[in-house]
A and B are shown apart, each in its own frame.
Chain A
Amino acid sequence: MGFWEVTLSLLDGLKYTCLIFALTLVLALPLGLVISFGSMSKFKPLAYVIKTFVWIIRGVPLMLQVIIFFYVPGFIFGTPILSRFASVIAAFVINYACYFSEIYRGGIESIPRGQYEAGQVLGMTKSQVFFKVVLMQVVKRILAPMSNEVITLVKDTALARVIMIVEVIQAAQNFAGYGLMWPLFYTAVFYLAFVGLLTLLFGFFEKKLDYYKI
């Protein structure tokens, strides 16, 4: 087994790592906003239901959630409903949406009332106040905690291997079967490169938003 052969194989696994990462972000970012609105709802029963839901999702290990999404529908309906990959995406999206929702909520609640009132007295509708006045300020406030979550997500993708998705670590693990251990350690390079790229990207966004202070 040569270096290039291993690298190509790990890159094959990286495809899944990237796919899980990207799909989770694209779906969980908006879903998190919806959940945060739910948990801030003035209609108390809804807020309680959502808060309980967030507690359960954040309280159970993500690895277990992946397993539950893949196996439990099978127990109930006799056949698996979701493919391996779809189960992973469903579990990741819901899990990350809950974490994001709490970050959003913190950001939204940190915007002073005066900003809402200034928009209101200028005759803006509630949605105009939120999207044109508040949202950009929230984005600035939550950028640092969000970058933390997003970086964690990169490494959480490795959990997909519990239901035999061949992402980077599982790809390396397959070599261990032939007695090759070094590919496993080699995967760290891929993660480091991935996270390094994201760190640069978030740094760029932070600089972009540097022109104003809240």
Chain B
Amino acid sequence: MITRTSTRLGLIAAAALLVLTGCSSTEAPGAGASASPSEDAATVHRVPAGVTLTDAWVKATTEGMSAVFGDIVNTGSEDVTLSAAGVSESRMVELHETVDNGSGQMVMRQKDGGFVIPAGGTFELRPGGNHIMLMDLTGPLVAGNTVTLTLAFMDGSVIEQAVPIKDFAGANETYESEAPTPGSGH
């Protein structure tokens, strides 16, 4: 299946390649004002075969940052790798994992190489686990609205999907950089 995509998709797909080459984050896929319309028309993306995003939701917030949760289901016979994601309400989107920082505290940090969704398997995005981090939000994410989430896979395929925003009291994970280091004291 072939689909034509927006400017944003083109930028995210391009950023996906950057992630693979070690770039730290997906910068400003948002408004995409710098890209020319002619580029859009030329950009064509495949939808990944057998890969779906289900039960997805975004945590509501007034400002700052948020995250996307849900299940990425791969019914295909090949592993697929999610390499980047974007929503227009966030100027910086990262794929995060939550790991033990060595002092027994779970912290989140960017996942090198993207998320691998195994053939015939499900990749869970969960509070306290792997998730898609939305940073530098352009405005509040209001419960009951939706954001349009773009998932860019390593093979160049793309999923674009409306994801509802919900209130959620959890998902208050600590950043690796914020976590107190052993012996730092208080």
A and B assemble together: no
